[in-house]
Amino acid sequence: MSDHSDLRYILPSPVDAELALSLERAHRETRALDLLVGVWALLLAKCCLLQAAILYWSIPISGLFYIWALSLSLGVFATFHYLRAYRTELKIIPTNRRTGSALLFGIFLTLAGSAHAVFALELATPSALAALACSLGGIHACVHGAMRRRPEPLLGALIWWIAAWQCLRQPVDFALVCVGLGLIFGQALPAFALVRAANRYRA
């Protein structure tokens, strides 16, 4: 009888086991998303830097097709299979998911409307659009850092805002360089730092 009663203190309760499983799944999904964000930031940075090189050296090539369309198509294809391999459903932290999705959707609509104003209506310069993109990247990083309670995205937000200030002082080709550097140092590196911190926490 005493042996069976002792097992109650040795074996974890079903509630504790379910909580541990949920936390493990949350950490796994968070690492997968952070890694995905870092890779996408590097992909977009590559596109910006190559487009800047095309503009600066007047290379006779269609950057819209050979750089942006091909890179984004491959990125979407790889992302689909990556999430499918990890079987990520992203349902552990619904509040953060909804907040992040709403923020990204708002940023996308803002950039789309601003791009229309720049290229179709000619109401602003492409450098101003690049500065706006960097400013919105800084806002996203700041909100992300506040939700995650981590300093890495907050440092990334500072880098984004420095890049935005530089975009206003540069022509469009160098403004694209600033956006590319913002993606690398303000988005990709903080995301990889979060992945590394999550791996250390798990170990």
Assigned domain for 193 exists = yes
Q: What is the pLDDT of residue 96?
A: 64
- What tens digit of pLDDT does each residue of 109-162 get? 999 999 989 988 989 999 999 999 999 999 999 999 998 899 999 999 999 999
- What tens digit of pLDDT does each residue of 90-107 get? 554 555 667 777 888 899
Give the rounded distance of the alpha carbon of 184 from its chain centre.
10
What's the CA angle centered on 70, arms 66 and 73, to 5 degrees?
A: 165
**What pTM value is reported for the model?**
0.86
Instruction: Confirm if 118 and 125 have CB atoms less than 8 A apart.
Output: yes
Q: What is the pLDDT of residue 139?
A: 96
Counting the structural domains of the chain, the total is 1
Assigned domain for 76 exists = yes
| Domain of 78, in residue numbers | 18-202
What is the amino acid identity at position 82?
Answer: Y
Mean pLDDT of the chain: 85
Rounded to the nearest 10 degrees, the angle between the axes of helix 189-202 and helix 14-57 is: 160
Q: Which of 17-26, 78-87, 109-118, 181-190 has the highest mean pLDDT?
A: 181-190
Q: What is the pLDDT of residue 174?
A: 96
Assigned domain for 148 exists = yes
Q: How many CA atoms lie within 13 A of 188 on its CB side?
A: 15
Assigned domain for 33 exists = yes
